[in-house]
């Protein structure tokens, strides 16, 4: 049996694999905002995002894909440095 860890997770949102892709971002009332100055690039937000709406960037950082983010807030709750804050969607 193959060992599963965060390195084996897909880098695309789960919702994008649906045909046609479902942009679930329209559902949210709160959205996560990432402070790149505080982010230590640990990947915990990426690992816990249930929709895989957080993508790795070329500089080994992370970026939120708001088209697929439902605003659940799990990324902000799990962030060890508090780099992700939930704000009201306007």
Q: How far from the centroid of its chain's Cα atoms is residue 31's Cα?
A: 11
CATH number at residue 56: 3.30.70.20
pLDDT in tens, 58-86: 998 999 999 999 999 999 999 999 999 99
**Cis? peptide before 20, omega within 30° of 0:** yes
* More confident: 61 or 10: 61
Confidence band for 42, pLDDT divided at 50, 70 and 90: very high
State the pLDDT at residue 25.
77
CA–CA distance, 34 with 31 (Å, rounded to integer): 10
In a domain, 84, yes or no: yes
Total tally of structural domains belonging to the chain: 1
Question: Does residue 49 register a pLDDT over 60?
Answer: yes
Residues 21 and 42 sit within 8 Å (Cβ to Cβ)? no
Range of the domain at 53: 27-88
3-class secondary structure, 12: coil
Q: Are the C-beta atoms of 70 and 24 separated by less than 8 Å?
A: yes
User: With bands split at pLDDT 50, 70 and 90, how would you rate the model's confidence at 10?
Assistant: low
């Amino acid at each position: 049996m193959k060992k599963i860890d965060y390195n084996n997770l897909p880098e695309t949102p789960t919702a994008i694999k649906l045909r046609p892709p479902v942009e679930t971002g329209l559902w949210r009332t709160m959205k996560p905002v990432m402070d790149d100055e505080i982010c230590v690039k640990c990947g915990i937000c990426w690992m816990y995002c249930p929709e895989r709406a957080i993508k790795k960037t070329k500089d080994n950082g992370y970026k939120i894909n708001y088209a697929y983010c439902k605003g659940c807030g799990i990324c902000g709750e799990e962030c060890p440095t508090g780099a992700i804050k939930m704000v009201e969607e306007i």
